Amino acid sequence: MLRGTFQPDKLTGERYFRWRGGDVSRLEGLSDAVFALALTLLVVRLDVPRSYDEVEYSLLRAPVYLACFSFQIWIWYCHYQFHRRYGLEGALAVALDAALVFVVLLFALPLRFFGDLLFSLAYHGDVFQRSPDGSLVLGADGGTIEMIELGTRNGLMAAYSTGFILIFGLFTLLTYRAWRRRAELELDPLEELVTKNTIRAHGFSTLLGVVVLCVALFGGRFADLAGYLFMLMGPVHGLLGVIQGRRVKRLSATMEAQA
């Protein structure tokens, strides 16, 4: 069902898209609370620094945490944009939304782990060490993270890419559902094009996650390079944005000429 009725004073939206979401619903409020908790888990340490060296070490991690924070904000914005654009809150939308925020919360700490891993790699060089009991630990800052075995690195990347696939796969399903209900939502041609472009963008992110997962699990000696494939996100999404932006502008000009 559509949330409420369309209210012209609240449909400011984007340049090429009229927002159909009304007041912030309880579903959006719950989702925002979960995102806030996930963002907190990314940055806040559970233990208080006990020395200046620990404080300095925590501050040195700021760029890595900023990258993780930015990624979560991007996910939050995609979620926010979906609800503002379409205002869909039927039973299926609630189920997909609940699954999305659950995955976001579940993978908050693994995302922080990879931030620690990246920082330890740059700061210490030798990231993985053996503890006296034979288990593998990460980092040399006293806040070690126990691992099972050396090969766990690829398993961790597989777990992270699985979360990535689930998040953007759910975004793809949510947006595709809005596309299927375009007549009920009364989307105009520009809004239909923007919706299709969004499905393509989320679909690419999902596909990239699948590629990373396959490389991590079956890449052999290239498995350690799987994570670097995520660097394709920036240039590919930038290229898609340019191409799709031009299509939107051309269609907008055509519609204005015909008006």
Band the pLDDT of 146: cuts 50, 70, 90.
Answer: very low
pTM of the model: 0.78
Which residue pairs from 195-200 have beta carbons closer than 8 angstroms and sit at least 24 positions apart in sequence?
195/85, 197/240, 197/244, 197/247, 197/248, 199/172, 199/175, 200/240, 200/244
159-197 pLDDT, tens digit per residue, is 888 989 999 999 999 999 999 999 999 999 999 999 999
Q: 85 pLDDT exceeds 50? A: yes
Q: What is the 3-state secondary structure (H, E, C) of 26-87?
A: HHHHHHHHHHHHHHHHHHCCCCCCCCHHHHHHHHHCHHHHHHHHHHHHHHHHHHHHHHHHHC
Rg (CA), the chain: 21
For 238, the enclosing helix (H) or strand (E) is: helix 233-258
Q: 48 pLDDT exceeds 70? A: no
Lowest mean pLDDT among 45-54, 71-80, 138-147, 160-169: 138-147
- Can you tell me the mean pLDDT for 112-133? 58
Give the per-residue pLDDT at 152.
61
Tell me the pairing of strands 136-138 and 128-130.
Answer: antiparallel
Band the pLDDT of 5: cuts 50, 70, 90.
Answer: very low
Token digits for 157? 């990347």
